[in-house]
């Protein structure tokens, strides 16, 4: 399979499909209810000129949706995680744990942190799954 551009429609669909085929993700996200917006702040120096909004909707061990949304839609999500592009890139490459990044203030979470921590293994598995996508990042 060819490399997919990060946040493209095809990339989002593949991540959703991979999550729904992942028994470990399903196990550790059993009981999760709600959606999350990932706000990826612009970083022109790393070829990421505009802020973008990633939408993840999980329900009881399944990925209902993974897609890009508008800023207005992102503001309505149960959880909103915000950070500069390079922090997200570090998470995507496995150089930074997303939950640790939230606790250290490297990614800002709006929402119930203890709820997210309860599902930490599910969060980590969703990122591990995403790392299995052959991804083209704009700064590489």
The pTM score is 0.94
What pLDDT digit, counting tens, does each position of 17-67 carry?
A: 999 999 999 999 999 999 999 999 999 999 999 999 999 999 999 999 999
Over 90: is that where the pLDDT of 102 sits?
no
pLDDT band with cut points at 50, 70 and 90 for residue 81: very high
Percentage, residues of the chain above pLDDT 70: 99
* Any domain includes 90: yes
Average pLDDT, the chain: 95
| Residue span of the structural domain in which 91 resides | 4-123
Over 80: is that where the pLDDT of 110 sits?
yes
* Any domain includes 130: no
* Any domain includes 51: yes
3-state secondary structure the chain: CCCEECCCHHHHHHHHHHHHCCHHHHHHCCCCEEEEEEEEECEHHHCECCCEEEEEEEECCEEEEEEEECHHHHCCCCEEEEEEHHHHHHHHHCCCCHHHHHHCCCCEEECCHHHHHHCHHHHHHHHHHHCCCCEECCCC
pLDDT band with cut points at 50, 70 and 90 for residue 98: confident
CATH classification at residue 99: 3.30.1050.10
* Any domain includes 137: no
Over 80: is that where the pLDDT of 1 sits?
no
* Any domain includes 94: yes
* Any domain includes 133: no
* Any domain includes 95: yes
106 φ/ψ angles, rounded to the nearest 5 degrees: -80, -25
* Any domain includes 128: no
pLDDT of residue 116: 87
Number of domains composing the chain: 1
């Amino acid at each position: 399979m060819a490399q997919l551009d990060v946040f493209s429609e095809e990339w989002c669909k593949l991540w959703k499909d991979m999550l729904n085929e992942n028994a470990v993700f399903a196990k550790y996200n059993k009981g999760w209810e709600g959606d999350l917006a990932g706000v990826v702040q612009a970083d022109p120096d790393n070829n990421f000129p505009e802020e973008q909004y990633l939408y993840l909707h999980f329900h009881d061990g399944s990925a209902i949706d993974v897609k890009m949304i508008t800023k207005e839609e992102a503001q309505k999500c149960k959880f909103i995680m915000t950070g500069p592009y390079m922090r997200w890139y570090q998470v995507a490459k496995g150089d930074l744990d997303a939950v640790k990044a939230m606790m250290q203030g490297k990614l800002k979470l709006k929402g119930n942190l203890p709820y997210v921590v309860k599902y930490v293994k599910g969060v980590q598995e969703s990122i591990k799954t995403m790392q299995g996508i052959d991804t083209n990042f704009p700064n590489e």
